Chain A
């Protein structure tokens, strides 16, 4: 049932525990079945004749696909490979857990996980988009998470691009990148076919650079679209990278804040681990004059916020994960945590600190205020 690559990874992971300490889900729920190795063990048992059952499928969805396990593995094995395939088989067999079902249906029909029609995606941004040209050098790809849950972060990036005098535009009917479908269903032809449509929409703008707000979108554009044959523009850049470059070149001027704070920075899991990016956001924080105090585990060792998707169907688990990370942030003595990913921004605002001791600051909103 599983591919050779998935089998190889599952057979390696099934008896190994070495990455247990970094799995955000398993460490929050305390459930052995949520560890990467448990998922490997179940996969290996299915390959050896056990039935693939709905409760195994349920376990496979208790994962935020943050890659902490793959990052930790010294010998290069990757649990997300068999976890994603297990999800594909869950969908094929109709074993998707009841809490996840509405999301998989929504994502196949609308492209987004929120059950909203695709036409509503850019509604919070349509006024600003209305004033943008149809074609431009730079295309800002907002992504589902920001569009539906934190449009102010997208508006902030747009504000920064405008202030920098960038020739940019945003798609008024922005399709989904497919990152959410890929997480829920695995890498199937359904994702690939949608990728062709998205790639065309991106190319039609004539842009030579696509700037993505959500690291998830950057990852799928950069690391999957090309090998699927869904080609589009020359370059994909993350928003953090792009804005940092504008500041460095002097095109965007950042004023230091009036009241300096001690802040800490949450590296988005996919940005740090999949895209190897850590420096630009830190440059930007320093430009605002805030005093950056790193969490003990940062950079590639960052901890996931719980993630946009897991939060929708397992809000309690996602909340525990976010709280654990906020505890890390509070121990630095910082009064605020800066986030640079729409998923993180919403996760920490929604699920996080009830005591009000720690402020959650979106990096782009912060920069927009400082420029």
Chain B
């Protein structure tokens, strides 16, 4: 949207008419704020004093009805619309890279209701996730979706990128936990998916919008399963000789039990952790897990786990580490602990079957460490299934190029190398952070001819292509 001339003002008046003057922002100060999310490139850019991408308008609707009217206006004038929840995404999905409108969902933050008998909570999607969790906790429940962005991302954001929490191994990913939602389509129609998910009335409508990252519409309400708070949660840690035995043990465990937390660290990460635990450096692969639920059952499950781990030659490391880790897990994301500028870093999470996963780990490690000087690679597996597990692998470069443009180019080369190594060996381009801007260019490579299904849906729902351009490869 070219801001020159009076057309800017004409559109502004229409937007103000929908949400009220105080809920449309055009000031420079506010626009700057929406140009940076958790995407490394954007942060590095402003750290070097460069200006971030800016939207023309920021609108804050309070209801699905207002969203509907806004999208109709955007479609009429063919103005891009980027949906912004917490802006805490690491892939740049919320950034206003196409200018136009940023639709900040956070005024839609009400609790709609809790159906305790059915264990279902319904909220507006602009609610910060922690606040929904608090409403559940108040009544003795939990949504059991505990990501690191719990206190910063919105409910809508978690759905938009198909997020995961540390206890997903037992309680599922967000797409398992979401029951139903209300979505405003790009043409302004307000739709509801079915009240419960496990039906046989056609394809699952929820799953079309979950993970769509704002490209197919705006989610305005959502319902989630509630879980009773467990009677107990018990931690245990083990040190395996190597990752291979760790993976094998994990696979066996998953055949019998669903721990709530299961984390296997590669040799590099193990070296730094194990020193904190036992005070000396020791080689191997560290595993930290937790089982929770009814105590009697938890104790039996823990015994089964210990047997399995013993079978694979693991050393027992007690429960202290796990408890401390759980208590301090969020500390790692606060300034001073977290990775930050001037370092370059990224999480290239991927997920695969047990057959492939270790191969992928080594392929990615070599792809990064062998080809890029000064870059190190560390990984752990923290979300497990009966069929496989994911790798939460990070690359870290302590001294990236000073020049921001060079840094971006290097950053993208590293990403291509790592992600392609995963794809080449049966992995996928992302496990739970989403695609956003960062991996948009790799979607077609990943899907091949299957991409036309998404393109078809996109074209049908959003013929003018206004919803979050440049993202998700759509």
Q: Which A residues fall within an 8 A CB radius of B? A: 11-22, 26-27, 29-33, 38, 41-42, 44-45, 48-50, 53, 55-56, 58-59, 72-77, 296-297, 316, 331
Contact = CB atoms under 8 A, between A and B. Distances in A.
Contacts of A29: 60, 107
Contacts, number: 129
Contacts of B149: 17
Given A15-B38, A31-B60, A296-B138, A55 B27 contact: yes
B29 interface: yes
B29 A18 contact: no
Given A20-B151, A41-B32, A30 B46 contact: no
Interface stretch (B125-133, B180-188, B350-358): B125-133
A33 B151 contact: no
Contacts of B29: 33, 42, 53, 55-56, 58-59
Given A18-B152, A18-B334, A32-B106, A27 B131 contact: yes
A32 B340 contact: no
Contacts of A11: 335
A49 B27 contact: no
A33 B335 contact: no
Given A27-B128, A56-B28, A59-B33, 9 more contacts: A17-B38, A20-B86, A21-B128, A21-B151, A30-B108, A30-B126, A32-B104, A42-B33, A316-B22
B447 interface: no
A299 to B, nearest CB: 14
B244 interface: no
A42 B151 contact: no
Given A30-B60, A53-B28, A74 B131 contact: no
A77 to B, nearest CB: 6
B336 interface: yes
Given A32-B87, A75-B335, A41 B36 contact: yes
A40 B138 CA distance: 32
Query: Of residues A27, A30, A31, which shows the largest number of chain B Cβ atoms within 10 Å of its Cβ?
Result: A30
B30 A59 contact: yes
A370 to B, nearest CB: 30
B56 to A, nearest CB: 15
Contact of A20 (B48, B128, B334, B338): B128
Interface string B311-354: 00000000000000000001101111110110000000000000
B152 A20 contact: yes
B49 interface: yes
Contacts of A74: 330-331, 334
23 contacts: A11-B335, A12-B336, A15-B341, A17-B38, A17-B87, A19-B151, A20-B86, A21-B131, A21-B150, A31-B25, A32-B33, A32-B104, A32-B106, A33-B30, A38-B33, A41-B32, A42-B32, A45-B32, A45-B46, A48-B46, A55-B28, A296-B137, A296-B138
A162 B87 CA distance: 55
Contacts of B25: 31, 33
B84 A13 contact: no
Contacts of A33: 25, 29-30, 33
A75 B107 contact: no
Nearest to B130: A21
Contacts of B49: 45, 48-50
Q: Max chain A CB contacts within 10 Å: which of B108, B109, B126?
A: B109
Contacts of A41: 32-33, 36, 46
B43 interface: yes
Interface string B117-151: 00000000010111100100110000000000111
Given A30-B60, A31-B104, A31-B106, A18 B33 contact: no
A73 B335 CA distance: 9
Nearest to B106: A30
A326 to B, nearest CB: 14
B377 to A, nearest CB: 23
A13 B335 CA distance: 7
A50 B36 CA distance: 15
Contacts of A27: 106, 109, 128, 131
A49 B46 CA distance: 11
Greatest chain B CB density within 10 A among A14, A45, A316 is at A45
B46 A296 contact: no
A26 to B, nearest CB: 8
Contacts of B128: 20-21, 27
Contact of A15 (B43, B48, B331): B43
Question: Which among B33, B128, B338 has the greatest number of chain A C-beta atoms within 10 A?
Answer: B33
B224 interface: no
Nearest to B105: A30
Contacts of A26: 106
Interface string B283-300: 000000000000000000
A230 B129 CA distance: 45
Contact of A44 (B46, B130, B134, B153): B46
A77 B30 CA distance: 23
Contacts of B331: 74-75
Contact of A331 (B47, B86, B138): B138
A41 B42 CA distance: 12
A15 B29 CA distance: 16
Contacts of B138: 296, 331
A125 to B, nearest CB: 38
Nearest to B87: A32
A49 B47 CA distance: 11
B88 A17 contact: yes
B34 interface: yes
Given A30-B106, A31-B106, A55-B30, A297 B134 contact: yes
Contacts of B341: 15
Interface string B14-39: 00000000100101111011101010
B34 A32 contact: yes
A333 to B, nearest CB: 11
B219 to A, nearest CB: 15
A69 to B, nearest CB: 11
Contacts of B46: 14, 41, 44-45, 48
A59 B126 CA distance: 21
A30 B131 CA distance: 13
Contacts of B86: 17, 20
Contacts of B338: 16
Given A27-B128, A31-B106, A53-B29, A18 B137 contact: no
Contacts of B38: 15, 17
A48 B44 CA distance: 13
Contacts of A42: 29, 32-33
A59 B30 CA distance: 8
Given A12-B336, A32-B34, A75-B335, A18 B330 contact: yes
A188 B265 CA distance: 51
Contacts of A53: 28-29
Contacts of B151: 17-22, 72
A47 to B, nearest CB: 9
Contacts of B126: 30
Interface string B150-162: 1111000000000
Given A32-B104, A49-B49, A16 B28 contact: no
Which of A16, A26, A27, A42 has most chain B Cβ within 10 Å?
A: A16
